[in-house]
Amino acid sequence: MSEHVKIYGVIPKKQYVADGTTTTFEFPFAIFSADDIEVYLGDTKQSTTSYTVSGVRDSSGGAVTFVTAPETNTLITIMRHLSIERLSDFQEGGALRADTLNDELDYQIACQQQIAENLNRSMVLPPYAVADNVNLTLPTPSAGKAIVWNSEGTNLENSTIAVNEMESVLNGYKTAAQSAATTATEKAGIASDKADIATDKAQVATEKAAEAATTLTTKANKDLDNLSESGKKKIANLPMPSNQYVDLTLGSSGATYTAPANGWIYFAKDTTSGKYISLYNSSYIGTQVHASYSGVLRAYLPVKKDDEITVSYNAGTTVYFRFIYAEGEL
């Protein structure tokens, strides 16, 4: 008769990491038959045809030997798995044999170890948790949903979001954000280019305005050479504001006067029909002739500094001459 199995206080599970060559792996717990062993490579349960078991009913354990060595870095899990059942039945008044009783008790202790190992892999609250109103019952499974605590932290429930779809949703947001960023960058570049163009055009406009001002100044200083004779005569007759003036005595017809500054020659005469006055400026606007008429004849002639003006008029005509200039010119 074989010695009965002793169940020691060990966890009925052992794990290894394969090195690619080793085929035999020991386990430190007792088994009652070869069928009490389950073997996993990674998360895949192995068929009993891929390994053999030794050490049945050996209290110190046994070993699993693979037909083919598991691949390097593969996680190997060896665990005891018993059917939770009673194997003996004691009859009233019958013999109570020690080996049968020991075997039954050993089997039941092994089952309890199995249950304990399963519980150690179950979700439990820590010893210090306040668990008066906490319910750890899992909700009914819902495809793609995560299990979360409710707002009070007392019950577990399914999430409202399908977590497996979150990656694609977030990738969609990421793509949209990247597209928006690219568009914003492109528009910023366009705006920058347009700003540069506007700056260049503003610079050109400023330069053109300066050129125009220079041109106008130049034209204004060209002694009115750009005007026609009729235009010059019209300018000569524009009314002048009262300003600083000097009365002139030009004497007889044919007298010459040199302008001391930029200004106007003003003349007036009492006349009768047929009389005339002529002022001649060879460097400015030429001869200016006024036909006489009944009453008083008045006119202005623009001159520049150092212009020589020759005066002609009918004998016996009373003429008054005055040189008008801007304040501060003389």
pLDDT value of position 265: 79
Could you tell me which residue, 207 or 46, shows the higher pLDDT? 46
Is 63 part of a structural domain of the chain? Answer: yes
pLDDT value of position 218: 62
For 218-242, what is the mean pLDDT?
54
| Structural domain count of the chain | 2
Q: With cut-offs at 50, 70 and 90, classify the pLDDT of residue 95.
A: low
Residue 266 domain boundaries:
229-325
Is 74 part of a structural domain of the chain? Answer: yes
Is 173 part of a structural domain of the chain? Answer: no
Q: H/E/C letters for each residue in 153-205? A: CCEEEEEEEEHHHHHHHHHHHHHHHHHHHHHHHHHHHHHHHHHHHHHHHHHHH
pLDDT value of position 232: 53
Is 309 part of a structural domain of the chain? Answer: yes
CA 281/CA 323 separation, integer angstroms: 14
Q: What is the pLDDT of residues 112-149, one digit of tens each?
A: 788 777 777 777 777 777 777 888 888 999 888 888 98
CA-CA distances (angstroms) from residue 67 to 46, 57, 143? 12, 23, 39
Find out whether 156 and 139 touch, Cβ atoms under 8 Å. yes
Q: Look at residue 7 and tell me whether its pLDDT is greater than 80.
A: yes
pTM reported for the whole predicted model: 0.41
Is 34 part of a structural domain of the chain? Answer: yes
Is 162 part of a structural domain of the chain? Answer: no
